[in-house]
């Protein structure tokens, strides 16, 4: 079966390295072959405005999405995504929002800075509780919805991965992930610089153990999903020959040298966008 005729859907889960992957993807295809959907809540309306002929011309859809997008059109589609260690992802989201005073998710006041407990329990971002499993399962809910911590959600996510995902990688093995995607999708060499990195964050290893336990308690499904995905990826790499490992090592070396070039290119694009 020729997957190159499929429509690919990059399910960009927030704070997993998806912005960096998005930049890589934009260099692989012509702009008219990519449909960008910035926000999950915009996906329904945007798809209503896209004709069948336009969908048939696309090579890839990407953005902050959830599983189920393919049900809107009559074309075979395959998803891919990157997931991240759930503890790091929640902490990264918290410090990212904390560094932005005007972020609508920032609950800090002039008197009090929001704690991570405030942030998670407020429900202002329901994807801090098993958010990766929610998006991959296609079923999302508010913080008081029991579905978001149910085994049903995990089972749905696993089923979707088995049936409709081309590949699922992990942030902590980003280079390995994108080189596998390159080989699967026939991409040019995916050199990059890291985008949208959280600034002013502590060493996560030094975070209070009570906070770590709190995050773990509310992300049991994401932890299971991450562990399964990591094991699968490690097994896949172990089955590869030494040539693949040599390619990874070579890629890392060259990418370090090219990193300033891609950082400069991104800065130029941002300047052109806003000025």
CATH topology of domain 3-269: Rossmann fold (3.40.50)
Look at 242 and 169; give whichever has higher pLDDT. 169
Residue-range domain boundaries for the chain: 3-269
Q: Are 239 and 172 in contact (CB under 8 A)?
A: no
pLDDT-based confidence at residue 206 (cuts at 50, 70, 90): confident
Is pLDDT above 50 for 116? Answer: yes
Is pLDDT above 80 for 109? Answer: yes
Q: Report, as an integer, the average pLDDT of 117-123.
A: 95
Q: Looking up tokens 């390295």, which residue turns up? A: 17
Q: Secondary structure of the chain in the HEC alphabet?
A: CCHHHCEEEEECCCCCCHHHHHHHHHCCCCHHHEEEECCHHHHHHHHHCCCHHHHHHCCEEEECCCCCHHHHCCCCEEEEEEECCHHHHHHHHHHHHHCCCCCCCCCCCCCCCCCHHHHHHHCCCHHHCCHHHHHHHCCCCCCCCHHHHCHHHHHHHHHHHHHHEEEEEEHHHHHHHHHHHHHHHCCCCCCCCCCCCCCCCCCHHHCCHHHHHHHHHCCHHHHHHHHHHHHHHHHHHHHCCHHHHHHHHHHHHHHHHHHHHHHHHHHHHHHHHHC
Contacts (Cβ under 8 Å, ≥6 apart) of 191: 251, 254, 255, 258, 262
pLDDT given at position 271: 46
Rounded CA-CA distance 199/170 in Å is 21
Kindly report, residue by residue over 209-257, the tens digit of the pLDDT: 999 999 999 999 999 999 999 999 999 998 887 888 899 999 999 998 8
- Percent residues over pLDDT 90 in the chain: 71
Task: Specify burial of residue 188 (Cβ count, 10 A radius: 0-12, 13-18, 19+).
Answer: exposed
pLDDT given at position 14: 94
pLDDT given at position 268: 47
Kindly report, residue by residue over 32-73, the tens digit of the pLDDT: 999 999 888 888 788 888 888 889 999 999 999 999 999 888
| pTM of this structure | 0.90
């Amino acid at each position: 079966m020729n997957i190159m005729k499929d429509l690919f859907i990059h399910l960009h889960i927030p704070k997993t390295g998806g912005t960096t992957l998005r930049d890589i993807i934009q260099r692989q295809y012509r702009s008219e072959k990519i449909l960008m959907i910035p926000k999950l809540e915009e996906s329904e309306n945007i798809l209503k405005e896209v004709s069948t002929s336009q969908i048939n011309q696309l090579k890839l859809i990407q953005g902050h999405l959830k599983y189920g997008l393919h049900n809107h059109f009559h074309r075979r589609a395959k998803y891919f995504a990157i997931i991240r260690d759930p503890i790091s992802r929640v902490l990264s989201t918290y410090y990212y929002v904390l560094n932005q005073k005007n972020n609508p998710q920032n609950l800090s006041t002039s008197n009090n800075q929001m704690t991570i407990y405030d942030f998670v329990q407020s429900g202002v971002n329901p994807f801090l509780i098993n958010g990766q499993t929610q998006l991959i399962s296609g079923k999302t809910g508010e913080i008081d919805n029991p579905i978001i911590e149910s085994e049903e959600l995990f089972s749905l996510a696993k089923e979707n991965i088995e049936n409709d995902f081309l590949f699922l990688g992990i942030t902590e093995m980003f280079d390995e992930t994108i080189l596998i995607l390159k080989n699967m999708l026939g991409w040019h060499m995916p050199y990059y610089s890291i985008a949208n990195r959280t600034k002013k964050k502590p060493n996560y290893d030094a975070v209070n153990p009570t906070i770590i336990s709190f995050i773990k308690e509310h992300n049991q499904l994401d932890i299971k999903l991450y562990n399964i995905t990591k094991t699968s990826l490690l097994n896949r790499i172990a089955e590869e020959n030494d040539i693949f490992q040599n390619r990874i090592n070579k890629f890392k070396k060259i990418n370090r040298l090219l990193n300033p070039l891609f950082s400069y290119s991104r800065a130029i694009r941002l300047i052109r966008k806003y000025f």
